[in-house]
Amino acid sequence: MNHKTIKNPLFMVFTIYIFYYLLHILEYFVLRTDQTWVGEAIIHKLLGIIIMAIIACKLRISKNEIGFKNGKHLLYILLGLAFGLGVFFIAYGAEFLLSLNNGNFKSFELYVSAYAIDSNIGNRTELIFFLICIIGNVVNVIMEEGNFRGLFLRILETKYSFLKSTVISAILFGFWHVAGPIRNYVDGRQSLKGMIITSLFMLVVSALVGLKFTMLTKITGSLYMSMSDHFVNNTIVNILHVVTNTGADELMTVRVSIAQTVSFLLVLIWYFMWSRQNATYNEKQTGYRESCSYN
C-alpha cells in the first residue's frame, strides 16, 4: 500500500500516545468508570479504537498491516487463549501450594472484581457483571494491541528497525500502566514509597509483557494470538480468586510474576527458534536464486 510519508515517526507516535494518555488520565482521575458498576475504564479505550482507525486511514495503513488479518485468526485466538490459560494454571497452582503449605488456603472462587496489583476489590456474582468484564477486556485488548503492537510499530518501522520500534513501544506500554498506582497514592490508599515501588513493578512487568506481545505478533504475523493472550491475562485475575483464611488474592503479585515470567521465557525461546528457522530458510532461498541465476 502507498503510505503517506511520515517525516518524524517517533514524534508522531509520541503525540498520539500523549493524547491517549490524557484520555486515560481523564477517565482514571475524573470519570473513574472502573470504580462504578461498569468496573472497567472503557471510554478512553473505545475512543482509542476510533482514533486508531482514523489515523490509520489518514496514513493509508490498512487493517491487515496493523495486524487485523483474515486467515488463521481463529487458530491464533485459540492458541492465545490456551497459552494464557496454561501459564496461569501454573501460576495459580504455585499460589495454591504456597497457601496450602502455610495452612491458609480456603478455596478458589469465581466472582468479578476490580483488578489491582496488590489485591482485588469487589465481589460480583451476577451474570451481567461477567459479561461486562468480558466485553470490557475485549475492547481493552483491541485498543492496546491495535495501537501498541499494530499502529505504533507500523509508524515507527518507517524509520527504525523492528528491534528499536519494539523497545520504544514496550517502554510506552510500561508507562501506560503507572496511572493506577499514582491514583492510589492521590486517593490516600497507598503511601509514596508504596506508589513508587508498585509503579516501578508495573513499569518493568508491563514493558516485558509488551515485548512478549510484540514477539507473538511478529511470529504469527497478526495481532490475534497476542490479543487473546492479553485477554486471558486481564480477565482471569478479575474472575478467578484464591481465598484464604485471612483474605483473598493476598499473593496476587506472586501469581502475576510467575505467570508473566513463565510466559515471557516461553515466547522468547519460541521467538529465537522462529528467527533461526526463518534465517535458515532465507539463506536457502537466496542460495537457490543465486544458483538459478548462475545457470
pLDDT, tens digit (0-9, with 9 covering 90-100), for 33-88 = 988 877 788 999 999 999 999 999 999 999 999 999 988 899 999 999 999 999 99
pLDDT at 32 over 70: yes
| pLDDT, position 174 | 96
Mean pLDDT, all residues of the chain: 91
User: What is the spatial distance between Cα 38 and Cα 128, in angstroms, rounded to a whole number?
Assistant: 10
Residue 287 has a pLDDT of 56
> Where residue 98 falls among pLDDT bands split at 50, 70, 90?
very high
What's the chain's length in residues? 295
Residues 6+ positions from 39 with CB-CB distance below 8 Å: 112, 113, 114, 122, 124, 129, 132, 133, 136
Percentage of the chain exceeding pLDDT 90: 78
CA 180 distance to own-chain centroid:
15
The yes-or-no verdict on residue 291 having pLDDT over 60 is no
DSSP 3: P
pLDDT confidence of residue 13:
98
pLDDT the model gives residue 286: 60
pLDDT of residue 15: 97
Percent of the chain with pLDDT over 70: 91
Q: Cβ(240)–Cβ(61) under 8 Å?
A: no
- What confidence tens digit (pLDDT) does each residue in 140-182 have? 999 999 999 999 999 999 999 999 999 999 999 999 999 999 9
pLDDT, residue 1, reads 54
- Rounded distance between C-alpha atoms, residue 39 and residue 37, angstroms: 5
Q: Which of 81-95, 117-131, 172-186, 231-245 has the lowest mean pLDDT?
A: 117-131
Give the model's pLDDT for residue 124: 84
The answer to whether the beta carbons of residues 111 and 241 sit under 8 Å apart is: yes
User: Residue 72: what pLDDT?
Assistant: 85
pLDDT at position 115: 57
Instruction: Supply the DSSP string of 145-204, one letter for each residue.
Output: IIIIIIIHHHHHTTTS-HHHHHHHHHHHHHHHT-HHHHHHHHTTSS-HHHHHHHHHHHHH
290 pLDDT exceeds 80? no
**Nearest of 13, 1, 278, 9 to residue 171 by alpha carbon:** 13
Q: 539463506: which residue's cell?
A: 283
The three grid cell numbers given for residue 91, joined into one nine-digit string = 501460576
